[in-house]
Amino acid sequence: MGNARWLKKPSRFVLAAVIVSLAFDLTGLVFGLFYEGLFYDNLAHFLTSFALVALAAELAQQRGALPLLVPGGRALAAGAVAGLAGGVVWETLEVIADSLFPIVYNPPLDTLTDTIVGSLGGAVGAWRTTAYLHRKPSRKTSR
């Protein structure tokens, strides 16, 4: 466990984002909702990118790989690039799966839309995580 010393418990914000994303993705898989229209598929790509980039940003900051204060524009740009990279990898896997198993529905417009929405989710995930990590603590006492 020597390498795990730097790993702290994720914040409630990131933990909630990951759980919501996972539940949304699993529900889509179980009930076949990804092919019922663009809305569910796009929301799933947004939430997944949001949650994964938020988790990565928080872990990087805990490890000291990110400065304490990241300007909003830089966080948005970094998150968009991370979301784009993840989206390209995922969509490449979908294209390969589509060529091997024709039941997978992956037209070029879907690939483009999924990649763009994933980039947006990554951008918002990085931006929101930096804002969450640097908010001023509440003066209210917990009950």
Range of the domain at 52: 11-133
Q: Is residue 139 part of a domain?
A: no
Residues of the chain with pLDDT under 50: 1, 141-143
pTM: 0.81
Q: Is residue 5 part of a domain?
A: no
Give the per-residue pLDDT at 141: 46
Contact 18, 50 (CB under 8 A): no
Residue type, 136: K
Q: What is the pLDDT of residues 48-78, one digit of tens each?
A: 999 999 998 888 777 766 655 667 778 888 8
DSSP 8-state secondary structure symbol assigned to residue 64: T
Q: Is residue 140 part of a domain?
A: no
Give the per-residue pLDDT at 143: 44
The total number of structural domains that make up the chain: 1
Q: Is residue 89 part of a domain?
A: yes
Q: Is residue 1 part of a domain?
A: no
Tokens 């294209």 belong to 95
Q: What is the C-alpha radius of gyration for the chain, rounded to an integer number of angstroms?
A: 17
Give the per-residue pLDDT at 4: 54
